[in-house]
Amino acid sequence: MISNPMPLVFAARKPCPMREKCILMTELLRIKNLHIEGFTDDKWVEIVRGIDLTLDRGEVLGLIGESGAGKSTIGMAAMGYTRQGCRISSGSIVFDGIELVDATVPVKKSVRGTRIAYVAQSAAASFNPAHRLIKQYAEAPVRHGLMSFSEAEKTAIEIYRNLLLPDPENIGYRYPHQVSGGQLQRAMVAMAMACRPDIIVFDEPTTALDVTTQIEVLAAIKHITRKYGTAAIYITHDLAVVAQLADRIMVLRYGELVEENSAREILANPKETYTRQLLSVRTLREDKDLSASEKDVILEAKNISASYNGKEMVLENINLKVRRGRTVALVGESGSGKSTLARVITGLLPPLAGKILYRNEELPPALKSRTRESLRTMQMIYQMPDTALNPRQKIRKIIGRPLSFYFGMNGKACEEKILQLLDMIELPDHYIERLPTELSGGEKQRICIARALAANPEVIICDEVTSALDQLVAEGILELLQNLQNRLHVSYLFITHDLATVKAIADEIVVMLQGRIVEQGVKKEILTPPHHEYTELLLSSVPEMDPDWLDNLLKERRKNNENA
Amino acid sequence: MAFFRLLRKSPPIARIGLAMILLNIAAAILAPVIAPYTETEVVGDVWMPMSSEHLLGTDHIGRDMFTRLLYGARNTIAIAFVITMFSFAIGISCGFFAATLGGWVDMILSRLVDVLMAIPVLIFALVVLAVVGNSIPKLIVVIALLDSTRVYRLSRAVAMDIEVMEYVEAARLRGEGIWWIMRHEILPNAMPPLVAEFGLRFCFVFLFIAALSFLGLGIQPPMADWGGMVRENSGAITFGIFTPLWPAGAIAFLTVGVNFIVDWFLHVASGLKD
């Protein structure tokens, strides 16, 4: 099919005579009127509708949108690849003169990995745990015959150094479980760089990371793409993140282009309402202030220490107070013990030491010995609404069960109360007949909130309730929670790693690190300097809507290090 | 209604399987109506060939083969069904208990099942039936108990996976009792693999009864059952008479039909449904 002899030249990848010509013609990738369909419900549904995209040599293009916008699908299509159950129905993808849409498998193979590489969201799931990092690094170049293993080892050290990894000479000889999450993500970027590709597709490479590690990875990606002049497609749902890296940004929604412009231009004056919404979220949150007047302590954790195996302490000497009608935000990186504390408070994990007081009365440590009434007053909302709702129960049963269980309601009264709750969470009445699988992520989370409210609780523990949701949907959930608090005066213990959420909803902030509380107090105090060292690190690591933010921050940190 | 909608989308192979099973059930229910003779009546010579009088010929003592086959469907299918129901009732409840309670309950039940499974089922059944004597209720209890060990293993594994889901934790935090959690949170989600397993175990059970009957310890003569009929008539093969192939064919027919359905269920349950 391919009349163009170029693929063969590139497959061998000798210092090619066309090299200069390539640099002259700066356009590297051109996608034209791309349509991609996915097979669902026995029919083909269009998920990408006529996208045009160009990428020049050395340019970083940001693709941004919520889940279902088709960003990952487009990113993969840039390699001529579609996920299983998807097909490219029309359009053209020209990579450096090669048409990838109808290219043969050998041609595509010669391009993938060597000239276009892909970095996935979860490094932990993408590495083979049985092999050392460097072996996996060398796999692509050795397999494509570009270099021998020992040559690859040498180049790896250089790449590792440029990715700012510690101890670049030796880190490659570790196994994936022996490095941290941020380092592993960078090791995967190194793998993608192994063949010095022309384009790297980054598919949400920092979404699964904590803010503090996100910075390391962002800095490394920025450094290496600049250093090697690699073009990149950076896919994310976070505008502030992509602003740090991208030269140009494309905003996508429902598989269509909403707006395209240079990064600075998009941030400075967005033209479309949708882009403006995405931008406004953060600024809106910061202004919100709430003043709950009640100050009486309703829930108190005293000197709590806990452990899963009896040896290693997961929580040490935790003291925490939740006041009536107020929100306490529990902040920290993953592994800091936030969720464990929630398990201790609910009684799922009896503590080794310390006690839980509810209205100044001590609660039994184990769930089994607590009374139904004390269970009722404390409800929980989970991070993943998909697993928190039984997929075989209708909404009527999910919300109705706490009503009949705690209050003995049934029949008409129960039905009316369910409709009332549905109204509270802003969902229409006919949802009562639906199954959770028939709802979107945000709607499911609303049902979880209704289930908690059905018990008429005094405290609700929210465990990362917005982190699995898209930005705008998450904003809706936070607003709902805030409105409900204003109306019902429930207290929230809000567990999160997202500081923007904290700023929006908290009255008091508790910062946790490695099972200990490092700082706690009223929001204003915590958020105004001077901060505790760790709080400072956390706060400064949240990306801002400023294209120069990352550079400035890194400069500043370097300066501080030199001074210290 | 949901079933009919599912059926409309079903592949031809599943419909064929369903037709095969329905044919068997019809034969079992309508046996007294269709059968030209009664179950134990001697009506002709030994091993008579097929004729208009005896559609499938006669057996080793001159009973009508067609009649025996119809009544055999009755005994074999009914008993196998009852046994499978029993073994599932025992297996599922024990398996769910072990998974939700964990700890020493799980330990004791699982080790007990390990012990039972360590002994070859056929030999174990032979020994037990030889000791306690042979009657249909005893047969049902013994096979159901032995068979429930397999169901226990499956339902425990399935329930373990479901038990860690947050909606189960939410039910626990609500203060729900173990029965409610098992019945309302776990069972509905465990249904697909269990239903598929039901079809398979049903096949194994009536093959097992056939094997026991073949050894003389299953359903006792003069009651007709397919396994027993193969055994009684097996001598005919040496004379080139294919009478024993009729009941053997009936066993194969039902097994294939059930497996068609089971394959389809597995396909549906694997999430390719809606």
**pLDDT, tens digit (0-9, with 9 covering 90-100), for B214-242:** 787 878 778 888 888 888 888 888 888 88
Task: Please determine, for residue A279, whether its predicted confidence score (pLDDT) is greater than 80.
Answer: no
Number of other residues whose CB lies within 10 A of the CB of residue A191: 26
Q: How far is B154 from chain A (nearest CA, A)?
A: 20
* Residues of chain A positioned with their CB less than 8 A from the CB of B191: 392
Please give the order of strands across the beta sheet that includes A361-362.
Answer: A313-323, A297-307, A353-358, A361-362
Q: Which residue range forms the structural domain that includes residue A95?
A: 6-285
Mean pLDDT of all residues in chain A?
A: 84
The first and second tokens of residue A555, run together, are 């400069």
User: A211-228 and A549-563 helices cross at what angle (nearest 10)?
Assistant: 100
Lowest mean pLDDT among A139-148, A413-422, B211-220: B211-220
Q: Is the peptide bond before B222 cis (omega within 30 degrees of 0)?
A: yes
User: A391 — contact with chain B (CB < 8 Å)?
Assistant: yes
Q: What are phi and psi of A517, to 5 degrees?
A: -90, 125
Query: Which pTM does this prediction carry?
Result: 0.78
* Residues of chain A positioned with their CB less than 8 A from the CB of B173: 346-348, 367, 375, 379-380
pLDDT band at B2 (very low <50, low <70, confident <90, very high): low
* Residues of chain B positioned with their CB less than 8 A from the CB of A370: 175
Mean pLDDT to the nearest integer, A98-112:
86
Domain membership flag for residue B208: yes
Q: How far is B10 from chain A (nearest CA, A)?
A: 13
Task: Please determine, for residue A22, whether its predicted confidence score (pLDDT) is greater than 50.
Answer: no
pLDDT band at A294 (very low <50, low <70, confident <90, very high): very low
What was the pLDDT predicted at B89?
Answer: 95
User: B178 — contact with chain A (CB < 8 Å)?
Assistant: no
Last residue in a domain, options A285, A312, A343: A285
What was the pLDDT predicted at A295?
Answer: 62
Domain membership flag for residue A563: no
Q: Higher model confidence: residue B158 or residue A297?
A: B158
* Strand (E) or helix (H) holding A92: strand A86-95
Mean pLDDT of all residues in chain B?
A: 86
Domain membership flag for residue A544: no
Task: Please determine, for residue B18, whether its predicted confidence score (pLDDT) is greater than 60.
Answer: yes
Q: What are phi and psi of B62, to 5 degrees?
A: 90, 20
Interface test with A, best of B8, B174, B194 (most A CBs within 10 A): B174
User: B174 — contact with chain A (CB < 8 Å)?
Assistant: yes
In terms of residues, how long is chain A?
A: 564
Q: Which residue range forms the structural domain that includes residue B171?
A: 74-272
Task: Please determine, for residue B9, whether its predicted confidence score (pLDDT) is greater than 90.
Answer: no
* Residues of chain A positioned with their CB less than 8 A from the CB of B102: none
User: A382 — contact with chain B (CB < 8 Å)?
Assistant: yes
User: A388 — contact with chain B (CB < 8 Å)?
Assistant: yes
Domain membership flag for residue B33: no
Is A407 exposed, middle or buried (CB count within 10 Å of its CB: 0-12, 13-18, 19+)? middle
Please tell me whether residues A161 and A33 are part of one structural domain: yes
CATH number at residue B166: 1.10.3720.10
Please give the order of strands across the beta sheet that includes A43-56.
Answer: A43-56, A27-40, A86-95, A98-99
Mean pLDDT to the nearest integer, B200-219:
81
What was the pLDDT predicted at A537?
Answer: 83
Please tell me whether residues A267 and A299 are part of one structural domain: no
Express each pLDDT in A298-355 by its tens digit: 898 999 999 888 778 888 889 988 888 888 999 888 778 888 899 999 998 899 989 9
Task: Please determine, for residue A262, whether its predicted confidence score (pLDDT) is greater than 70.
Answer: yes
Please tell me whether residues A325 and A463 are part of one structural domain: yes
Q: How far apart are the first and last CA of chain B?
A: 15
Helix (H, G, I), strand (E, B) or coil at A99: strand
- Cα–Cα distance between B247 and B233 in angstroms, integer? 10
Lowest mean pLDDT among A72-76, A89-93, A547-551: A547-551
* Residues of chain B positioned with their CB less than 8 A from the CB of A402: 174
CATH number at residue A400: 3.40.50.300
Interface contact A382-B170, CB threshold 8 A: yes
What was the pLDDT predicted at A542?
Answer: 81
Mean pLDDT to the nearest integer, A268-283:
77
Which amino acid, A427?
Answer: L
Domain membership flag for residue A431: yes
Domain membership flag for residue A557: no
What was the pLDDT predicted at B270?
Answer: 62
Q: Which of B167, B173, B176 sits opposite A387 (nearest CB)?
A: B167
- C-alpha pair distances (Å), A136 with each of A69, A287, B30, B39, B210: 32, 48, 67, 72, 56
- Cα–Cα distance between A118 and B87 in angstroms, integer? 51
Number of other residues whose CB lies within 10 A of the CB of residue A19: 10
Mean pLDDT to the nearest integer, A361-373:
89
pLDDT band at A474 (very low <50, low <70, confident <90, very high): confident
Q: Per the structure, how many domains does chain A have?
A: 2
- Cα–Cα distance between A428 and A29 in angstroms, integer? 46
Please tell me whether residues A266 and A339 are part of one structural domain: no
Domain membership flag for residue A456: yes
Domain membership flag for residue A548: no
Do A232 and A218 touch, CB atoms closer than 8 A? no
* Residues of chain B positioned with their CB less than 8 A from the CB of A349: none
Interface test with B, best of A390, A393, A397 (most B CBs within 10 A): A390
- Nearest to residue A357, comparing CAs of A382, A333, A374, A339? A374
Lowest mean pLDDT among A1-15, A238-252, A424-438: A1-15
What was the pLDDT predicted at A65?
Answer: 85
Please tell me whether residues A299 and A417 are part of one structural domain: yes
Give CB contacts under 8 A, 24+ apart, made by A301-304. Answer: A301/A341, A301/A344, A301/A345, A301/A354, A301/A355, A301/A356, A301/A357, A302/A354, A302/A355, A302/A356, A302/A357, A303/A353, A303/A354, A303/A355, A304/A341, A304/A344, A304/A351, A304/A353, A304/A354, A304/A355, A304/A356
Do A31 and A52 touch, CB atoms closer than 8 A? yes
pLDDT band at B96 (very low <50, low <70, confident <90, very high): very high
pLDDT band at A6 (very low <50, low <70, confident <90, very high): very low
Task: Please determine, for residue A78, whether its predicted confidence score (pLDDT) is greater than 60.
Answer: yes
Domain membership flag for residue A536: no
Q: How far is B185 from chain A (nearest CA, A)?
A: 7
Mean pLDDT to the nearest integer, A375-403:
91
Domain membership flag for residue A168: yes
User: B176 — contact with chain A (CB < 8 Å)?
Assistant: yes
Mean pLDDT to the nearest integer, A259-269:
87
Express each pLDDT in A483-512 by its tens digit: 888 888 899 999 988 887 888 788 888 999
Number of helices and strands in chain B (H, E): 11, 0
Domain membership flag for residue B148: yes
Mean pLDDT to the nearest integer, B108-120:
93
Q: Per the structure, how many domains does chain B have?
A: 1
* Residues of chain B positioned with their CB less than 8 A from the CB of A401: 174, 184
What was the pLDDT predicted at A23?
Answer: 47
Mean pLDDT to the nearest integer, A138-162:
89
Please tell me whether residues A366 and A389 are part of one structural domain: yes
Buried b (16+ CB within 10 A) or exposed e, A350-381: ebbebebebeeeebebebeebeeebbbbbbbb
Buried b (16+ CB within 10 A) or exposed e, B64-75: bbbbbbbbbbbb
Domain membership flag for residue B179: yes
Task: Please determine, for residue B65, whether its predicted confidence score (pLDDT) is greater than 70.
Answer: yes
What was the pLDDT predicted at B154?
Answer: 94
Last residue in a domain, options A220, A252, A285: A285
Domain membership flag for residue B166: yes
- Cα–Cα distance between B224 and B73 in angstroms, integer? 8
Domain membership flag for residue B5: no
Do A526 and A535 touch, CB atoms closer than 8 A? yes
Q: How far is A236 from chain B (nearest CA, A)?
A: 28
Domain membership flag for residue B42: no
- Nearest to residue B145, comparing CAs of B89, B200, B104? B89
What was the pLDDT predicted at A164?
Answer: 83
Last residue in a domain, options A285, A303, A325: A285
Q: How far is B85 from chain A (nearest CA, A)?
A: 23
What was the pLDDT predicted at B255?
Answer: 85
Domain membership flag for residue B40: no
pLDDT band at A102 (very low <50, low <70, confident <90, very high): confident
- Cα–Cα distance between A260 and A253 in angstroms, integer? 12
How many CB pairs (< 8 A) connect A and B? 50
Percent of chain A topping pLDDT 70: 92
The first and second tokens of residue A350, run together, are 């009896």
Q: Which of A41, A384, A392 sits opposite B188 (nearest CB)?
A: A392
Interface contact A375-B173, CB threshold 8 A: yes
Query: Which residues is B42 bridged to in the sheet?
Result: B63
